[in-house]
Amino acid sequence: MENIKIQPVLVGGDINCYSVARAYHEAYGVKSIAFGKMLLGATKDSNIIDFRVDPRMNDKEEFVKVLLETANQLAEPNKKLIIHGCTDEYAELIIDYRDVLSTKYIVPYIGAELKDKLIEKESFYQMCEEHGLDYPKTHIFNKGDEVCEFGFNYPVILKASDSISFFQHAFEGMNKAYLIENAEEFKKATDEIYSHGYEKSMIVQDFIPGDDSHMRVLTCYSDKNGKVKMMCLGHVLLEEHTPKGIGNHAAIITEYDEEVMNKFKTFLENINYTGYSNFDIKYDAREKKYKVFEINLRQGRSNYYVTSSGNNIAEFVVEDRVYNKELDMKIQKESFFWRVIPKKVVYKYVKNEELIKKCKELDAAGKSASSFEYEADLKGNLKRRWYIFLYSINQFRKYNKYCK
């Protein structure tokens, strides 16, 4: 067992991918292989990733073929290949082809039947109803429906039930989610969405008041037996505010809430979930309740908040799936400050002064980290340093434009 070699194979090229690769490099000193349709700055010129551009990743059958060919090329005695999807689309493809990929890889994911119940928000909310998870008041709107009363007032949030299909029908000016103020705006948005090829339902939800700091993110790891073994709750300080990036976390402080964690632990174990799960949650001050928006069937885009706070996401998979160890339950209780943007941006745009004070205290105490500031990757790597310098400058520009 001691001679086992670990080889992560990641699919996707954004910061999610980089953060998973960093976790594996920190824990095991290994360089991840990653695939994507194009080069992205988050993973470009990295010393810890062997990034391979392959346009075939767009095609389902070719996707599997590429991964099986790669596995055959990497095959060695005592080498364990572990696959991770780093976008919704790739995670779902891995789940759909779990059986065939499992002949070559460790595939720490649920099966397709459970996936189908969880990815469409309409059926996910039904499961929340059955298992006692609070979610926003919701109306399902289908193509051809008349604009009607929803059972709650404007403003409302409008978003696709199937986000993958939605983004496959991209158009100029599209948003990940829409804040709709009245019936006229609603009709205009839905007409535009359905005129560009999207056919599935849209989710209309009661708008929960509150800025980014009312958001929470919960990341969990469930072992191969469906038992939750790690929970890390993040208090979101700031999100991205670009039209297509809205909702992506940019700064987080970890926090502990036993009641919230126990509710989601019970939910995951009741449905026999395995692998990483990631929940988007918002606190509704009107009802003093935390309400869940969605589940991601993978580690979240901001997953380095988990690793940097002391819960290396690679180690849970390796200890569980490679070494078949019985994992101890790990719940993050101590506060830790994570960011993927410059500290000055956090301090300028977070509105809650108490949260800013806490960030500064954690940073002064050495309890803070940034996803990209990894010395093992930056040492002697001028291209990488230059990218991060330009990326940081760009964050000031973006927040000045979009975050008012």
Final residue of a domain: which of 154, 182, 206? 206
Q: Which two tokens stand for residue 262?
A: 């126990």
Please write down the HEC assignment for all residues of 55-91.
HHHHCHHHHHHHHHHHHHHHCCCCEEEEEEECCHHHH
* Mean pLDDT (whole number) for 123-149: 92
Q: Does the residue 148 lie in any domain?
A: yes
Both 228 and 374 in a single domain? yes
- What confidence tens digit (pLDDT) does each residue in 183-217 have? 999 999 999 999 999 999 999 999 999 999 999 99
185/222 Cα distance (integer angstroms): 42
CB-CB contact of 202 with 358 (8 Å): no
Q: What confidence category does residue 162 fall into, taking pLDDT thresholds of 50, 70 and 90?
A: confident
Query: How are beta strands 215-222 and 275-284 bridged, if at all?
Result: antiparallel
Q: Which two tokens stand for residue 189?
A: 């948005």
Both 218 and 168 in a single domain? no
Q: Does the residue 132 lie in any domain?
A: no
Q: Does the residue 125 lie in any domain?
A: no
Q: Does the residue 143 lie in any domain?
A: yes
Radius of gyration of the chain (CA): 21
CA 371 to the chain's CA centroid: 14
Both 364 and 271 in a single domain? yes
- Tell me what pLDDT residue 282 has: 96
Say whether pLDDT at 243 is over 80: no
Cα→Cα distances 27→154, 294, 318, 376, 386, Å: 48, 30, 10, 12, 26
Between 368 and 55, the more confident residue is 368
Both 97 and 145 in a single domain? no
CA torsion sign for 364, 14, 296, 115 is: negative
**How many Cα atoms are found within 13 Å in the side-chain-facing hemisphere of 89?**
17
Say whether pLDDT at 232 is over 70: yes
Q: What confidence category does residue 76 fall into, taking pLDDT thresholds of 50, 70 and 90?
A: very high
344/366 Cα distance (integer angstroms): 17
- Tell me what pLDDT residue 2 has: 65
Both 202 and 217 in a single domain? no
Between 173 and 401, the more confident residue is 401
Q: Which two tokens stand for residue 29?
A: 């000193």
Number of domains into which the chain is organized: 3
- CATH number of the CATH domain containing 160: 3.30.1490.20
Both 335 and 221 in a single domain? yes
* Mean pLDDT (whole number) for 349-369: 97
Q: Does the residue 127 lie in any domain?
A: no
* Mean pLDDT (whole number) for 87-108: 97
Both 222 and 177 in a single domain? no
Backbone angles phi, psi at 23, to 5 degrees: -60, -45
Residue type, 138: T
CA 260 to the chain's CA centroid: 19
CB-CB contact of 78 with 116 (8 Å): no
* Mean pLDDT (whole number) for 282-295: 96
End-to-end CA distance of the chain: 54
Both 388 and 287 in a single domain? yes
- Tell me what pLDDT residue 74 has: 97
Both 108 and 173 in a single domain? no
- Tell me what pLDDT residue 167 has: 85
Final residue of a domain: which of 154, 183, 206? 206
- CATH number of the CATH domain containing 283: 3.30.470.20
Task: Provide, for the chain, the percentages of residues in helix, strand and coil under a 3-state DSSP scheme, each rounded to the nearest 5.
Answer: 40, 25, 40
| 267 Cβ neighbours under 8 A, 6+ residues apart | 128, 131, 132, 133
- Tell me what pLDDT residue 206 has: 95
Both 366 and 388 in a single domain? yes
Q: What confidence category does residue 122 fall into, taking pLDDT thresholds of 50, 70 and 90?
A: confident
Instruction: Look up the domain containing 63 and give its range.
Output: 5-116
- Tell me what pLDDT residue 95 has: 98
| 236 Cβ neighbours under 8 A, 6+ residues apart | 212, 213, 215, 216, 217, 249, 251, 252
Q: Does the residue 164 lie in any domain?
A: yes
CB-CB contact of 274 with 226 (8 Å): yes
Say whether pLDDT at 164 is over 90: no
How many C-beta neighbours within 10 Å does residue 198 have? Answer: 23
Between 122 and 315, the more confident residue is 315
Look over the chain and give the mean of its residue pLDDT values, rounded to a whole number: 94
Both 280 and 398 in a single domain? yes
* Mean pLDDT (whole number) for 225-236: 98
Sequence length of the chain is 404
Q: Which two tokens stand for residue 265?
A: 């632990």
Q: Does the residue 42 lie in any domain?
A: yes
Both 303 and 354 in a single domain? yes
Q: What confidence category does residue 3 fall into, taking pLDDT thresholds of 50, 70 and 90?
A: confident
- CATH number of the CATH domain containing 93: 3.40.50.720
Final residue of a domain: which of 187, 206, 225? 206
Cα→Cα distances 313→214, 308, 309, Å: 25, 10, 11
Q: Does the residue 130 lie in any domain?
A: no
